[in-house]
Amino acid sequence: MKSTLQEALSRLTPEQRFAQVMQHGTMSVELYAPDQVDPQQPHAQDELYVVVSGTGQFLNGEEVYLFGPGDVIFVPAGRVHRFFDFTDDFQTWVIFYGPEGGEKPKS
């Protein structure tokens, strides 16, 4: 399986700001490019964001931090999170994986 950023971008519309580009087992990959507001709600699976372009801030539970191109952000299943104060060129890959409720950390 392979996808390019250009292929994913061609699937975005003003009404739909994410595009799934691949899926295998529990894993799915999407490109996400919110327009001014990130309306996300907590997800059932763990997820990784890999920022393609843009800068801004990210709320991850009770933590807030700056992000930029090349950053990787982990969000465990069920956690409140969202991007805010982001630039117009913000785009990120989103990788969902694992069981509903998230994976359990190794002890």
Is there a domain that residue 52 lies in?
A: yes
**How deeply is 62 buried, as exposed, middle or buried, from its count of CB atoms within 10 A (0-12, 13-18, 19+)?**
exposed
Q: Which CATH number covers residue 66? A: 2.60.120.10
Tens digit of each residue's pLDDT (9 = 90 or more) over 20-73: 999 999 999 999 999 999 999 999 999 999 999 999 999 999 999 999 999 999
Is residue 76 in some structural domain?
Answer: yes
The answer to the question of residue 85 being in a domain is yes
Q: Is residue 59 domain-resident? A: yes
Residue 42, domain member (yes or no): yes
Domain count, the chain: 1
Range of the domain at 18: 5-97
Note the pTM of the prediction, 2 decimals: 0.92
> Is the distance from CB of 90 to CB of 54 less than 8 angstroms?
yes
For residue 26, is it within any domain? Answer: yes
Q: Does residue 107 sit within a domain?
A: no
HSE, CB side, 13 Å, CA atoms: give it for residue 3: 17
